[in-house]
Amino acid sequence: TRIDITKHLGAKRRAIQAHATQIKSDGPLLSLSEQDYIDLGAVEQYRLVAHRLPSEPALPERDLFEGLR
Model confidence, pTM: 0.67
pLDDT 10s digits, 34-46: 899 889 889 999 8
Give how many domains the chain has, as a whole number.
1
d(CA 66, CA 49): 12
Res 61: pLDDT: 77
Contact 42, 9 (CB under 8 A): yes
φ and ψ at residue 19, rounded to 5 degrees: -100, 60
User: pLDDT grade, residue 69 (50/70/90)?
Assistant: low
Domain that holds residue 52: 2-68
Coil, strand, or helix at residue 4? strand
How far apart are alpha carbons 44 and 38 in whole angstroms? Answer: 11
User: What is residue 56's predicted lDDT score, i.e. its pLDDT?
Assistant: 81
Q: What pLDDT, in 10s, does the model give residues 4-31?
A: 999 999 998 888 888 878 888 788 888 8
